[in-house]
Amino acid sequence: MLVSCNVRWIVRASERRLTDLPSQEYLPDWSPDGQRIVFAASPAPPGFRAFVIARGPDATWAAPRRINDTTQTGIGATVRWTPDGRTLALVTGDSSLALMPADGGALRLVVDHKQLREGITFINWTRDPTTVYFQTLDSTGVHSFWSAPTSGATPPRRLLRLGEPGRRTRLIEFDTDGKNLFFTIEADEADIAVVSLKRP
């Protein structure tokens, strides 16, 4: 005898505000252990500010703590955890890629945008902390995807350039498992229609 049944689940979700900054927050990212969130906040010359929020043992969240020194090289709006949770990868104010200790400290340049002649827009990882993946935007508005060793031992490698019309993306966010790239392709629609008007 075959028995068919439907199982229904109830999920209770509650909204909790974690920030109350006099600024706009961008692109939050969970740490690998799920206990911290990193995000960028509105520009303060020479760039954005990076903050980390930590969750305590009693599940309460601490106030956001700024971790970058804005008197150093400015940063952009993209800040992402490395897979080991000890380091942050970020886009600098001049659209290069750098690493910074998760508790703050000096930046270490990994990929210079001048080397690519394209600006870096977004960063992502697989579980391998030795290779970073990133997206760039060139002067013609075309995005590319790259990989690079965090050691800087070898030059970055272009994986894909979306130069074909109709096969482009406007979004900076993407994901990868190290074998595939996942991103959104733009789909413009500009149909023309004729409508017949009727008098009442």
CA distances from 144 to 77, 115, 166, 167 (A): 19, 14, 15, 12
CATH of the domain at 171: 2.120.10.30
Q: Which two tokens stand for residue 158?
A: 């272009």
Task: State the pLDDT at residue 73.
Answer: 64
In a domain, 6, yes or no: no
Task: State the pLDDT at residue 196.
Answer: 84
Domains held by the chain: number: 1
The 10 Å CB-count burial string (b at 16+, else e) for 152-163 is: eeeebeeeeebe
Instruction: Kindly report which listed range (100-109, 141-150, 151-160) carries the lowest average pLDDT score.
Output: 100-109
Contact yes or no for 160/167 (Cβ under 8 A): no
Name 127's Cβ contacts closer than 8 Å, sequence gap at least 6: 83
Task: State the pLDDT at residue 16.
Answer: 77
**pLDDT of 2-39, one tens digit each?**
444 455 666 666 677 888 877 788 889 999 999 999 99
Q: Which two tokens stand for residue 94?
A: 């001049």
Q: Which two tokens stand for residue 11?
A: 């999920």
In a domain, 168, yes or no: yes
Task: State the pLDDT at residue 57.
Answer: 87
In a domain, 166, yes or no: yes
**pLDDT of 38-72, one tens digit each?**
998 876 666 788 889 999 888 889 988 888 775 56
In a domain, 20, yes or no: no
Mean pLDDT of the chain: 86
In a domain, 144, yes or no: yes
Task: State the pLDDT at residue 120.
Answer: 95
Whether the full predicted model's pTM is greater than 0.95, yes or no, is no
Contact yes or no for 55/69 (Cβ under 8 A): no
Range of the domain at 153: 25-177
Residue 37: strand, helix, or coil: strand
In a domain, 33, yes or no: yes
In a domain, 149, yes or no: yes
In a domain, 116, yes or no: yes
User: CA nearest 135: which of 123, 127, 126?
Assistant: 123
CA distances from 51 to 21, 32, 59, 113, 140 (A): 11, 16, 19, 24, 33
